[in-house]
């Protein structure tokens, strides 16, 4: 018979890591870019990475979600862990949600638009435009206003 070779599996060589990562919870907001964070029993000061949206950290603080820290040098908040289903945009550009309630609050303007129609809410004004605009009511349809003008 032939020669038998003993084969051993070797771990691939990995590039040395520049620093450690850790999970933390946000304790106190010091300013828009700095937070006091808790890693286990330890408390650190951490700087927000410029790529991280400050509103994302505010939400994580409110909800108690964990953040990811880069500890290569001074502690840097690199992001948050997703703890709820995100609203995603599919590759074809569509968004589909199955929710119980859907509320959008806009400080200035909200618009729902297709190529040929739109509904716009701006301040206290609501505008509906389309080739055909239909309002339906099973019982009573009220049109209220100081002036109602039909063409």
Enumerate domains of the chain plus CATH numbers: 21-80 (2.40.50), 104-134 (no CATH)
Q: What is the predicted pLDDT for the residue at 15?
A: 47
Going by C-alpha positions, the residue among 14, 65, 10, 7 that lies closest to residue 35 is: 65
Q: What is the predicted pLDDT for the residue at 148?
A: 85
pTM confidence score: 0.59
Helix (H, G, I), strand (E, B) or coil at 141: coil
Going by C-alpha positions, the residue among 41, 73, 43, 76 that lies closest to residue 57 is: 76
> pLDDT digits over 46-67, tens only?
999 999 999 899 989 998 999 9
Count the helix, strand and coil residues of the chain and give each as a percent rounded to the nearest 5: 5, 30, 60
Q: What is the predicted pLDDT for the residue at 149?
A: 85
Q: Which residues is 39 bridged to in the sheet?
A: 42
């Amino acid at each position: 018979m032939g020669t038998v070779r003993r084969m051993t599996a070797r771990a691939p060589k990995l590039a040395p890591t520049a620093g450690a990562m850790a999970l933390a919870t946000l304790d106190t907001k010091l300013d828009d870019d700095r937070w006091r964070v808790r890693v286990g029993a330890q408390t650190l000061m951490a700087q927000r990475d410029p790529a991280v949206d400050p509103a994302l950290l505010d939400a994580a603080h409110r909800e108690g979600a964990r953040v990811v820290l880069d500890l290569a040098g001074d502690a840097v908040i690199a992001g948050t862990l997703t703890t709820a289903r995100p609203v995603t945009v599919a590759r074809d550009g569509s968004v589909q949600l199955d929710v119980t309630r859907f509320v959008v609050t806009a400080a200035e303007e909200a618009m729902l638009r297709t190529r040929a129609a739109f509904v716009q809410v701006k301040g206290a004004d609501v505008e509906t435009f389309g080739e055909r605009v239909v309002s339906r009511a099973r019982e009573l349809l009220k049109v209220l206003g100081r002036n109602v003008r039909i063409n």
